Structure 1
Amino acid sequence: MATHPLNGSERAPFPGAKSIGKADPNERLEVTMLVRRRSADAFEKHIATLAAQGASAKHVGHDEFAKQFGADSADMAAVQSFAQKHGLSVVESHEARRTVVLSGAVAQFDAAFGVTLEQYEHAGGTYRGRTGPIHLPDELNGVVDAVMGLDNRPQARPNFRTRTQHGNVRWTAEAKGASTFTPVQIASLYDFPQGDGHGQCIALIELGGGFRPADLKTYFASLNVKQPSVIAVSVDHGKNHPTGDPNGPDGEVMLDIEIAGAVAPGAKIAVYFAPNTDAGFLDAISTAIHDTKNKPSIISISWGGPESAWTKQALNAFDQAFQSAAALGVTVCAASGDNGSGDGVNDGADHVDFPASSTYALGCGGTSLQASGDKVTSETVWNDGASGGASGGGVSTVFALPAWQEGLHVARGGGAQSALTMRGVPDVAGNADPATGYEVRVDGHDMVIGGTSAVAPLWAGLIARINAIKGAPAGYINPHLYKDPSALVDVTQGNNDDFHASAGWDACTGLGRPDGEKVKDAVS
Structure 2
Amino acid sequence: MNNHRSMSQRKEVPKCRPFFEMIDLTEDKLPKARLPKQIAPDAVAKTWTVPELCEAYGWPKDLDGGGVIGILAMGGGYQPSDLEAYFKGIGQPMPDIENVVVNGVGNHPNQPPSEDFDPDVEIALDIEVAASAYYVATGKPAKIRIYWTDMDLRSMAPAIQKAAADGCSVLSISWGAPEDAWEWLFWKFGQNVAVQLEAALIRAAALGMTVFAAAGDREANAGEPQKTVNLPAACPHAVACAGTSKTRDKEIVWNNDPGKINGIGTGGGYSSLFFPQSWARGAPVGIGRMVPDVAGNADKNTGYRIYVHGNERLTGGTSAVAPLYAGLFAAFGKRSNGFVNPILWANRDCFQDITEGNNDGWEAAVGPDPCSGLGVLIAHELASLFTVANAPKPYDAPKPYKA
TM range (shorter): 0.7 to 0.9
SS at match of 1:422: coil
Relative distance call for 1:443 and 1:277 in structure 2 (3 A) is: same
Q: Cα offset for 1:270?
A: 0.6
Contact 1:195-1:264 at 8 Å conserved across structures: no
Q: What's the counterpart of residue 222 of structure 1?
A: 89
Q: What's the counterpart of residue 245 of structure 2?
A: 368
* Post-superposition CA distance 1:68-103 (Å, at most 9, x none): xxxxxxxxxxxxxxxxxxxxxxxxxxxxxxxxxxxx
Mapped to 2, the partners of 1:238 and 1:487 lie a distance apart of 41
Q: What's the counterpart of residue 187 of structure 1?
A: 54
Q: Is 2:310 aligned against 1:444?
A: yes
Matching residue within 299, 323, 341 for 2:220 = 341
Mapped to 2, the partners of 1:242 and 1:204 lie a distance apart of 16
Q: What pairs with 1:461-500 in structure 2 (closer than 5 Å)?
A: 461-467=327-333, 472-500=335-363
Matching residue within 229, 232, 241 for 1:355 = 232
Q: What's the counterpart of residue 201 of structure 2?
A: 322
* Post-superposition CA distance 1:352-382 (Å, at most 9, x none): 11100000000000000011xxxxx110000
Q: Structure 1 regions of 5+ residues with no counterpart?
A: 1-7, 18-121, 128-152, 372-376, 410-418
Q: What's the counterpart of residue 274 of structure 1?
A: 149
Q: What's the counterpart of residue 259 of structure 1?
A: 129
Contact 2:297-2:303 at 8 Å conserved across structures: yes
Q: Which amino acid aligns with 1:206?
A: A
Q: Cα offset for 1:487?
A: 0.2
Q: What's the counterpart of residue 75 of structure 2?
A: 208
Contact 2:46-2:302 at 8 Å conserved across structures: yes
Mapped to 2, the partners of 1:479 and 1:379 lie a distance apart of 25
Mapped to 1, the partners of 2:329 and 2:62 lie a distance apart of 11
* Post-superposition CA distance 1:239-271 (Å, at most 9, x none): 100025685000000100000011114321111
Mapped to 2, the partners of 1:406 and 1:491 lie a distance apart of 17
Matching residue within 162, 181, 184 for 2:22 = 162
Q: Cα offset for 1:277?
A: 0.7
Q: Which amino acid aligns with 1:522?
A: L
Contact 1:245-1:443 at 8 Å conserved across structures: no
Relative distance call for 1:501 and 1:458 in structure 2 (3 A) is: same
SS at match of 1:466: coil
* Post-superposition CA distance 1:479-514 (Å, at most 9, x none): 111111010100101000010100110111100011
SS at match of 2:247: strand
Q: Alignment length, in residue pairs?
A: 358
Q: Cα offset for 1:521?
A: 2.7
Q: Cα offset for 1:285?
A: 1.5
SS at match of 1:467: coil
Contact 1:333-1:459 at 8 Å conserved across structures: yes
Q: What's the counterpart of residue 46 of structure 1?
A: none
Q: Cα offset for 1:164?
A: 4.2
SS at match of 2:75: coil
Mapped to 2, the partners of 1:483 and 1:329 lie a distance apart of 19
Q: Cα offset for 1:522?
A: 3.3
Mapped to 1, the partners of 2:209 and 2:380 lie a distance apart of 20
Q: What's the counterpart of residue 320 of structure 2?
A: 454
Mapped to 2, the partners of 1:170 and 1:495 lie a distance apart of 29
Q: Structure 2 regions of 5+ residues with no counterpart?
A: 28-36, 136-140, 187-191, 392-403
Contact 1:236-1:283 at 8 Å conserved across structures: no
- For the aligned residue pairs, the C-alpha RMSD in angstroms reads 2.4
Choose 1 or 2 for highest CA Rg: 1
Q: Which amino acid aligns with 1:510?
A: G
Any runs of at least 4 consecutive aligned residues in structure 1 with deviations exceeding 6 A, and if so which? 165-168
Q: What's the counterpart of residue 255 of structure 2?
A: 383
Mapped to 1, the partners of 2:216 and 2:361 lie a distance apart of 15
SS at match of 1:405: coil
SS at match of 2:212: strand
Q: What's the counterpart of residue 408 of structure 1?
A: 283
Structure with the higher strand share, 1 or 2: 1
Query: Which structure exhibits the higher relative contact order, with contacts defined as CA atoms closer than 8 Å and separated by 6 or more residues?
Result: 2
SS at match of 2:332: helix
* Post-superposition CA distance 1:435-467 (Å, at most 9, x none): 011100112121011000000000101101122
TM-score (norm 1): 0.65
Mapped to 2, the partners of 1:463 and 1:519 lie a distance apart of 9
Q: Which amino acid aligns with 2:237?
A: Y
SS at match of 1:310: helix
Matched residues, percent identical? 37
